[in-house]
Amino acid sequence: MPTEATNDPIVRELSAAVRGRYTLERELGRGGMGAVFLARDLHLDRLVAIKVLPPELAVRPELRERFLREIRTAASFSHPNIVSVYGAEEANNLLFFAMAYVEGETLAERVRRQGPLPVPELVRLLQEVAWALAYAHGREVVHRDVKPDNILLERATGRALVMDFGIARSVAASGVTQMGETVGTPHFMSPEQAAGDRVDGRSDLYSLGVVGYFAATARLPFQGESAQAIMVAQISQTPAPVLSRRPDLPAPLVAVLERCLAKDPAARFARGEELVEALEQVQGRRVEVPPPIRVWTVRADQFFRNGLILGLMMPQALVRFSSERTHLAFTGIIFSVVVPALWLQIPMGMRELAQQGFSFGDLRHGVGAIDAEREAVLAAQLADPRFRRRRRRKLLTLLGGMVLAVSIIAMGIWSGEKRASGSYQVSSGMLLLMGIAGSVGMVCLVFTAATLASGGRMDRRMHRIWTGPAGQFLYRLGSWRLGERGGAGGPITRHGALTLLAGLERGERRSLGGCAAALERLEAELERLDRRERELVGALTEAKAGSPTHSAPVGQRQQQLLGDLEQARREVLDRRTAVLGGLENIRLALVRLKSRLGVPEDVEREVAEATRLLSP
């Protein structure tokens, strides 16, 4: 950043204070809580973010000391969902600290750009922020300013990270948080914080509930003309039910948000860990869709839709208005060659999946999971009034273009002269205009179909074909002479590695001598864990169904038994997840080997890692 050319005193003073350690590159943002700059650490050659706090914090020595102490406490944190703080310093009238630079955007920016979050993303966000808050609360640090602007979403992974621990407490102690200076913060204050009462970790969980409400609906639970009015609403009013603004939310998630937004701190979750456990019950284990199945689904949708549109939108009018046989030949080629060639790519893609070891059951499970994801995304978008307005305007514009194109073509027909042969003679100028109008109409129709298909209804109807008897027939046709892979199939990762191993060349299989035996042992362990989980679930059901007792010792033993059974079940689920992960890593290594992107040593390494899970 060329500090010599700027008139900003903060930039000049900060550049002088960090000279020799950091170089400022650009400003990332500025607000009531100070300015943030992107800088490069000269010693470690890494990007960092430097935040400069408002000058009011540096006026009194005791406030400077308190701020530095709070930030140094935050610098001791080490958690994957908390932005790492490297250190805080003071120089002249500046208070600033360096923290990790996260490539991404804030939750506020994400919601403004794309609208409400789909349910899976929303649950993940709340869980990760709750884990971060639980970690800080365990070290007796309350954030006090949990809001979308303080939650970063990493672009590469989607991970949520909380920042600015300790700042809100220091600012509040300084007396500079006058109304309007902390823009947006009153919208996320807990009732006890708005009333000026003592706060603890449950206050942060209330703020997280407001964040969840905002992320789910793109709207705030309380609005007001002033900060005072908003804080009064936080204390005394009940927000509009989140379900009225987002009807697709699962009932357990609604219950979690409502409990977080309870006015009485005692009615909320006591700890962040409790909130995470409640969120784990919102939805079961998410089905992971292998990339090849995801890619095939997108391509199959495109091939089917393009063939359908091409078949329906042939320029039949040109054939009627001309006696040239080339138009008829061209139309015949399109219908007999091009459209079938497009649709033939669908079973050919199925053949590629079969070659990679996926069964028809894997395909069916994957397509079902993709449909569920798309429904969640569409429900989140439809909850945003801005998305509905944009979609309606787009459809009206495209339909208007189609009507105009049809009108121009009809006008050309009516203005033509009928020949004795029955065809129409149209002037060259009108013919050109009709051709342009036909092109515009086709483009509008294609985009209209794509807009309607984005709602997922057309794709879901096509997916019923791919996952039904017709799809199973196409799969068997596509995998002809590759072996029997058209069965119902089981979980996506199950048996895929064994099938891939069997499809390798004899020399490669020989070099992977013990791989088949290890895979069979892993599969057997997976089946044993499934049986064990069913046994524990049955035992838990029986233990909970027992007749209630008023005997304290018996009741304690019953609670201890339930706790032991639940702990054993969690251990089985964790072990099952690890075994599934090992099998999937082996399968991916085999895929790389089959595609000549990997070597046998990679497979052997993954087999060795996975077989360690078999040891007691």
Please list the active-site residues.
Answer: 145
Structure tokens at 11: 């930039």
Helix (H) or strand (E) holding 134: helix 119-137
- Contact call for residues 86 and 100 (beta carbons, < 8 A): yes
DSSP for 6-37 reads: ---HHHHHHHHHHTTTEEEEEEEEEETTEEEE
CA angle 95, 82, 97 (to 5 degrees): 15
- Contact call for residues 218 and 205 (beta carbons, < 8 A): no
Could you give the CA distance from residue 409 to residue 437 in angstroms, rounded to a whole number? 7
DSSP for 264-328 reads: SGGGS-SSHHHHHHHHHTTS-PPPPPPHHHHHHHHHHHHHHHHHHHHHHT--HHHHHT---HHHH
Alpha-carbon radius of gyration of the chain: 31
The four Cα atoms 297, 299, 301, 307 give a dihedral, to 10 degrees, of: -150
Could you give the CA distance from residue 584 to residue 577 in angstroms, rounded to a whole number? 10
Cβ neighbours, 10 Å, residue 333: 11
Tokens 């020799």: give the residue: 20
- Which has the closest alpha carbon to 269: 257, 260, 281, 261? 260
